[in-house]
Amino acid sequence: MQSKDVHPSVRGMRTTALGIAISIILVFVKFISGYIGHSYALIADGSETAADVLSSALLWLGLRISLKPADKEHPYGHGKAEPLVGVLIALFLIGTAIWIAYNAIVFIRTPHHLPEKFTLAILFVVILIKEAMFRYVLKVGKEINSQAVKSDAYHHRSDAITSIAAFIGILVAVILGKGYESADDWAALIASFIILYNGIHLLRPALNEIMDAAPSNEIVGKVRELAANIPNVDLVEKCFVRKMGFDYYVDLHIQVSPLLTVAQGHEIAHHVKDKLLNSELRIKDVLIHVEPYLKPVGR
């Protein structure tokens, strides 16, 4: 079990390195087995895994960059490297889907041998490994709140999907025999559409993070609740939260009694800031604007 003291980027890098090592082995296994076993679906599956390796390498690099501390040119740090890599990974998925679909169509129209039976055993093992990797990487991605790591997890899931499609296609070809040689090519084509859907699905949240879209209402609600519970805070008027890498930055407008001195209002603002920074929300910094609270008429 990973220690909570380990930075999310470090956890993400360790998980990514494990995925890269496993995927490199599977690339060679799939390409060699597909070539010997006359299965384009297996070769296409190997191509998808090769894309996994490239995208995971990008993720590892992005996470490493996000670890760099803030400097003069990047006062908010380098956290945006993480969602930027998430966008690139999603684009890799989309590109891989298009490449697989194109080549599947070419092979459907080209006569070739029936796939060999042993490729089914290879694919069965691959499916188990890739599904296990998907569940593990997705779990880590959720724990460290990383869209890029979650996107990388779906690369493993898409690999498992192409393997399942290839398995079904090869099984059909093997059972039905001559005349059904292209069954595994059709399976690769179907899998490409699933991969394309996953890529488009993952692209949006990564783009939203780059564009500083507001996080979930749950996060904003917790920030408001924590601030409102500080003594002498009469109202939390505005609350803006944005995600930068693994951390959140908060802009807050609070209202206090107009009878308080500037020093007292400043002290209250510090209490609010300390409360938020010490919470479990991974808030990196808080900017607070203090305003006078004017009680609504009739109350």
26 plus 156 within the same structural domain: yes
Same domain, 76 and 102: yes
Q: What are phi and psi of 116, to 5 degrees?
A: -80, 150
Predicted local confidence at residue 275, as pLDDT: 92
115/246 same-domain check? no
pLDDT for 47 equals: 75
User: Do 139 and 63 have their domain in common?
Assistant: yes
The model's pTM is 0.64
Q: Do 200 and 248 reside in the same domain of the chain?
A: no
Task: Let me know if residue 160 belongs to a domain.
Answer: yes
Q: Two tokens at 136?
A: 């593990």
pLDDT of residue 1: 41
pLDDT of residue 245: 67
Residue that finishes a domain, picked among 189, 210, 231: 210
In a domain, 196, yes or no: yes
If you write DSSP's letter for every residue of 13-45 in order, what string do you get? Answer: HHHHHHHHHHHHHHHHHHHHHHHHTT-HHHHHH
In-domain check, residue 172:
yes
Residue 237 lies in a domain: yes
For residue 243, give its domain range.
Answer: 217-292
Q: How many CA atoms lie within 13 A of 259 on its CB side?
A: 3
One pLDDT digit (tens) per residue for the chain, 299 residues: 444 566 677 788 888 888 889 889 988 988 898 888 877 777 777 777 787 787 778 778 877 777 777 777 777 777 777 778 778 878 887 888 888 888 888 878 876 677 788 888 988 998 999 899 999 999 888 887 777 788 778 878 877 887 888 888 888 888 887 777 778 778 778 878 877 887 888 788 778 777 766 677 788 889 999 999 999 999 988 888 887 766 788 999 999 998 889 999 999 999 999 999 888 888 888 999 999 987 765 55
Residue 235, in any domain of the structure: yes
Residues 170 and 106 occupy one common structural domain: yes
Query: Is residue 93 domain-resident?
Result: yes
Q: Are residues 78 and 201 in the same domain?
A: yes
- Check whether residue 12 and residue 114 sit in a common domain: yes
The domain boundary, picked from 176, 210, 244, lies at 210
Q: Are residues 203 and 222 in the same domain?
A: no
Residue 1 lies in a domain: no
In a domain, 76, yes or no: yes
Overall number of domains in the chain: 2
Q: What is the CATH number of the domain that holds 141?
A: 1.20.1510.10
Q: Say if residue 262 is in the same domain as residue 186.
A: no
Q: What is the CATH number of the domain that holds 256?
A: 3.30.70.1350
Residues 155 and 16 in one domain: yes
- Of 23, 6, 157, the C-alpha closest to 93 is 157
Residues 223, 206, single domain; the answer is no
Q: Helix count (H) and strand count (E) of the chain? A: 8, 3
